[in-house]
Amino acid sequence: MRSPDRWTLQIRIMIKSKIKIATTSLAGCFGCHMSLLDMDERLIALLDQVEFNRSPFTDIKHCGQCDIGLIEGGVCNAENVQVLREFRANCTTLVAVGACAINGGVPAMRNYFDLQDCLQEVYVRGSGVTHPQIPNDPELPLLLDKVYPVSEIVSIDYFLPGCPPSADAFLQLLQPLLAGQRPEIASTRLYYD
Ligand code: SF4
């Protein structure tokens, strides 16, 4: 596990500049992002300390230099690999958030089947298909042979399990990180769905 650059965080805290956070959903359902928003009014206090960089909350398309990156979802295509590497290159501390990022989760259910069989079943043989054709637009990101946990592509500093992790678990992760400390999340806040 990579140790976070605490000096960067401590310096930001000392000069009271905001901590920069980036978030993304790879092969995920955005449920982890929704759970982050479940902090409700506690988000207001959080926003005094942080500013969001690339994130579905901002619609910024590329990850700039950030203190913390939160990754939701597994890695299912070439674009996911590119985004994940960009986060690793630019975020001091990278966190795998939720079951899909940690072990592939629901999207990884396709790993039990051949990729071509999956495509045939969905786009050609499936019930209700009226125009059978496997999409082949060159703009579509290339699918990987299977869905990978993010830690198989880049190094990850912390793991926050759950499907999704609760808002309280997010707080127990973020509050120490914002103070430049190592998070210790209570076992009662951790779920291995
Ligand atoms: Fe959605 Fe659960 Fe995966 Fe989070 S861990 S992206 S909530 S399926």
Which amino acid, one-letter code, is at 98?
A: G
The CATH number of the domain covering residues in 6-105+145-181? 3.40.50.700
Q: Where are the domains of the chain?
A: 6-105+145-181
Provide the pLDDT for residue 6. Answer: 62
* pTM of the predicted protein model: 0.89
The verdict on the CB of residue 26 being under 6 Å from ligand 1 is: no
Going from the first residue of the chain to its last (193 residues), give the mean pLDDT of each consecutive group of 10, the final group possibly shorter. 57 72 97 94 91 94 96 98 98 97 96 96 94 95 97 97 94 92 75 67
User: What's the confidence (pLDDT) of residue 1?
Assistant: 44
Q: Which atom of ligand 1 is nearest to the CA of 25?
A: 6
Q: How far is CA 136 from the centre of its chain?
A: 27
pLDDT of res. 177: 93
**78 close to 144: Cβ distance less than 8 angstroms:** yes
The response to whether residue 46 sits with its C-beta less than 6 Å from ligand 1 reads no
Measured in degrees and rounded to the nearest 5, phi and psi for residue 39 equal -65, -15
At 114, the amino acid letter reads: D
